[in-house]
Amino acid sequence: MNETSPRKTLPRLDESLLTYLPPFSKLERRDIRAILDQATSSRCDESVAIFDEGAPADRFFMLLDGYVRVVRITPTGEQVTALHIPAGQLLGIAKAFGRDTYPATAMTATESIVLSWPTRLWDSFVADYEGFSTETYKTVGNRLEEMHNRVVEMATQQVEQRVANALLRLINQTGRKTPDGIEIDFPITRQDLSELTATTLHTISRLLSGWEKRGLVQSKRKRITVTNPHALVEISQA
C-alpha cells in the first residue's frame, strides 16, 4: 500500500467474514484462517491511493468494505476512471495478468477496509487452494469481459446509450434501494461518469439534467439515484 496513505491497522479478523466472498467461498475454514493469518488489514480514508499505476506490484488486495475507482493516466496526463470495484473483490492482482507492476491506480471512493498480502504468496495460494485459483480467475474473466463490453459500447453506441449502460452497471454492482429509487452507493461525480463513458462533462450534465426533468434520475452532491431503471434500459437498447 502507498507508504503515505492514511490508514489504520485493524485487529485480527474472523474467517467468517470471508466465507461467502468469491476467492474464499469454496475453501475450508481452516484454509481461510491460514490465508487470513498472512494478511495485513487496514482502514483507508476516502480518496487514498491503495496502489499507484506503474509501481512494483509487491502486494495484492481484497476490498472488504467500501468502493474503489480504478484510474488510468493517459499519455497526455489526463486521469480516466476505467472501472469501479465494489466490496468483496480482489484488486491489484497484477500477477494474474503476468505483470510485475500495477497497470492502474486504485483510489478509494469511500472509507474502505482492505486486506493485503505480499505478491510472493500468490503462486502458493493458487497452487495450494484450488477454490482460490478458480474463483480468482473468474474475477479476472469478468473484469476483462466488462472492459471488452465497454470497448464495444464506445465503438457502436450513441452517447445516451453509453451513459444509460454505465448507470445500469453501477446500480447493478453497488445499488442501494431508497424511497426514490436505486442509489449508486458511493460518491460519483459527473466528471467520473464522463470518464467512464468517454463523454464530455458538458454532455453528461446536459443528459442528466434532461433525465431529471423526465423523472429518470436524481443527481445531487456526488450522489446519483436511478428513479426509473426500466426507462434507462429502453434508452440503453435504443
For 70-95, what is each residue's pLDDT tens digit?
998 878 877 788 888 888 889 999 99
Question: Look-up: residue for cell 458538458?
Answer: 202
What's the domain count of the chain?
2
Confidence at residue 189, expressed as pLDDT on a 0 to 100 scale: 87
Confidence at residue 5, expressed as pLDDT on a 0 to 100 scale: 45
* Eight-class DSSP state of 103: S
* Eight-class DSSP state of 16: G
| Domain shared by 45 and 121, yes or no | yes
For the ranges 44-58, 128-142, 165-179, which has the lowest average pLDDT? Answer: 128-142
**CATH classification of the domain holding 193:** 1.10.10.10
| Domain shared by 14 and 114, yes or no | yes
- In b/e form, how buried is each residue of 193-212, taking b as 16+ CB within 10 angstroms? bbbbbebeeebbeebbeebe
| Domain shared by 118 and 56, yes or no | yes
Q: Is position 152 within any domain?
A: no
Q: At a CB cut-off of 8 Å and minimum separation 6, what does 75 contact?
A: none
> pTM (2 decimals)?
0.76
| Domain shared by 140 and 166, yes or no | no
SS3 77: coil
| Domain shared by 171 and 131, yes or no | no
The pLDDT of residue 4 is above 50:
no
Q: Domain range for residue 203?
A: 157-236
By the 8 A CB rule, do 218 and 212 touch?
yes
**CATH classification of the domain holding 16:** 2.60.120.10
Nearest-angstrom CA–CA distance, 38 and 58: 14
Long-range own/partner contacts, residues 144-148 (CB < 8 A, 24 or more apart) = 146/83, 147/82, 147/83
| Domain shared by 39 and 68, yes or no | yes
Confidence at residue 2, expressed as pLDDT on a 0 to 100 scale: 53
pLDDT digits (tens, 9 = 90+) for 97-109: 889 999 999 999 9
For the ranges 68-77, 113-122, 130-139, which has the lowest average pLDDT? Answer: 130-139
By the 8 A CB rule, do 156 and 149 touch?
no
Largest CA distance in the chain: 55
